[in-house]
Amino acid sequence: MNSPFFQRPRTLLTAAALLVLVGAGALSLDRKALSANPPVPATPPVQATTVLVKQQDMPIYQAGVGTVTPLASVTVKARVDGQLDRVGFTEGQDVKAGQMIARLDPRPLQAQLQQAQAQKAKDQAQLVNARLDLKRYTTLIAQDAATQQQFDTQKALVAQLDAAVQTDAAQVNYAQVQLDYTNIVAPISGRVGARLVDPGNIVHATDANGLVVINQIDPIGVVFNLPETGFEAVNQALHSSHQPLAVLAYPPTGNQLLGRGKLILLNNQIDTTTGTVQLKGSFENPKHTLWPGQYVNARLVLGTRLQALTVPAAAVLRGQDGTYTYVVKADNTVQAQPIAVANIQDGVAIIDKGLSAGQRVVLDGQYKLKSGIQIVETASAAAAAASGAGQ
C-alpha cells in the first residue's frame, strides 16, 4: 500500500537512525581527540627555603694560617763559670724583668774583687808619695838644688803610677761586674719554662742550653703568611689607614674568636720559594687564650664595606652566563636574577648589583626551580622565620 500516511513514519525512523549514527561518530571523534591531547595538569608548588637580602657593614679581610709565637724569647744563661748555688723560680711561673732567677757561688769572684781593690789601694799610696816627691823637686829645682833630669824622672813616675791606679780601677770594676753576674736576673717579663739545670751543678758561660727559657706571652705574637697576590691590597690598606690594621685569631676549627690584635710587621720581602709574604700581629693575652706554638687561622682586616647588600653564599648559583639567584615575587613565583658578587667570606656573599635590600631569595631547593615556578616555604623555615619575627 503506497499511502502517504504509511510513508511518513518510515521517513522519521530513517532520519532518527541517521541522527544516532552522526552522534555516535561525533562522540567517537571527541574521545579520540581527548586521548590524543590530554589536558596539561597544573605544576604543584615547590618547597623551598628563602631569606631576605640584608644590608649590613661587612669587614673585608685576607686569611692565612698562622703560628702563635712569643713577642720575645730569652734563654737565660750564666755569664761566668761557677757552681749553681740556688734557683729563684718555680717552673711555669710568671716572672718580672729584674727578678732573681738563679745565683752562683760568689766566693771565688769576691776574692778576685778584693785582690783588685788591694792592688788599687797599694798603687794609690805610691801615687800619693810620688806626688809629694814631685812637689819637693819642684821647690828644689827652683833653688837649683836639683837637676832637671831628677825633676823629669819624678814627673814620669807620677804619671806612671796614675795610669796604674786607673788600670786598678778598671780591674776593680771588672771584678765587680763578674761578681754581679753570679746573681742571674730575668732580662724580660714573661713565663719561665722547665728548669734545665739543678742546683749543685757546675755551669759555664759557654753552655748551649742555659738555665731556663723565658717567653713573653702577654702581649703575644701571631706570625702568618699571605699569598703574594694579596700584597697590593694589604699595602694599599696600610697606606690608607691611620690606625694599625686589625688582626683576628681563630682556632683551626670553629669560629670562636681567640684574640683581636694589631699588625706590627709586613715583612720587607716576598719569599720567592713559597710565593708568600710574612706578617706578624701583636695580641693582648691576659687570659692566655693564645699559647706559643699554637696553630690559628689569622684574618687581616683590610677595611669595612659599609651597608653592603648580603645574602648567604648558598643562595648564589653559577651558570653559563655568570652568577645568579632566584628572587621570589609577590605571588610566590620565582625569577632567575643575574647578580654581581663582590666577595664571599664566612659563608656570606657581598652583592655589588642585581639585588636590593628586603628582597626574598631562595636559599635551599633551587635545583627544582626555574623561572615562573611557584614555591611554598618549608615548615621548618616558616617556623624559624616566625620565631625570628617574634623576637
Note down pLDDT in tens along the chain; length 391 residues.
444 444 455 554 555 555 545 455 545 545 554 455 555 456 788 889 999 999 999 888 899 999 999 999 999 999 999 999 999 999 999 999 999 999 999 999 999 999 999 999 999 999 999 999 899 988 888 888 888 888 889 999 999 999 999 999 999 999 999 999 999 999 999 999 999 999 999 999 999 999 999 999 999 999 999 999 889 999 999 998 889 999 999 999 888 999 999 999 999 999 999 999 999 999 999 999 999 999 999 999 998 888 999 999 999 999 888 999 999 999 999 999 999 998 888 889 999 999 999 999 999 888 888 888 989 988 655 444 434 434 4
Confirm whether 47-59+307-390 and 61-71+215-305 share one CATH topology: no
The domain segmentation of the chain, as residue ranges, is 47-59+307-390, 61-71+215-305, 76-214
Per-residue confidence (pLDDT) for residue 28, from 0 to 100? 55
| Exposure class string for 205-228: b at 16+ Cβ within 10 A, else e | eebeeebbbbbbbbbbbbbbbbee
End-to-end CA gap in the chain: 100
Per-residue confidence (pLDDT) for residue 365, from 0 to 100? 84
Amino acid at 132: L
Superfamily of domain 61-71+215-305: Efflux pump adaptor protein, beta barrel domain (2.40.30.170)
Domain range 47-59+307-390, CATH class: mainly beta
Structure-block grid coordinates of residue 356: 636590593
The Cα diameter of the chain in Å comes to 207
Per-residue confidence (pLDDT) for residue 391, from 0 to 100? 40
Domain range 76-214, CATH class: mainly beta
Closest to 332 in 3D by CA, of 362, 365, 367: 362
Cβ pair 185, 100 in contact under 8 A: yes
- Report how far residue 292's alpha carbon sits from residue 105's, in angstroms, rounded to the nearest whole number: 34
Question: H helices within the chain, ranges in order?
Answer: 4-36, 107-142, 148-180, 231-240, 379-390
Residues in CB range of 264: below 8 A, 6 or more apart: 221, 244, 280, 281, 282
Phi and psi at 133, nearest 5°, equal -60, -40
Closest to 56 in 3D by CA, of 232, 305, 250, 330: 305
Angle between helix 148-180 and 107-142 (nearest 10): 160
CB neighbourhood size of 18 (10 A)? 10
Per DSSP, 228 falls in state G
- Report how far residue 231's alpha carbon sits from residue 278's, in angstroms, rounded to the nearest whole number: 10
- Report how far residue 328's alpha carbon sits from residue 194's, in angstroms, rounded to the nearest whole number: 64
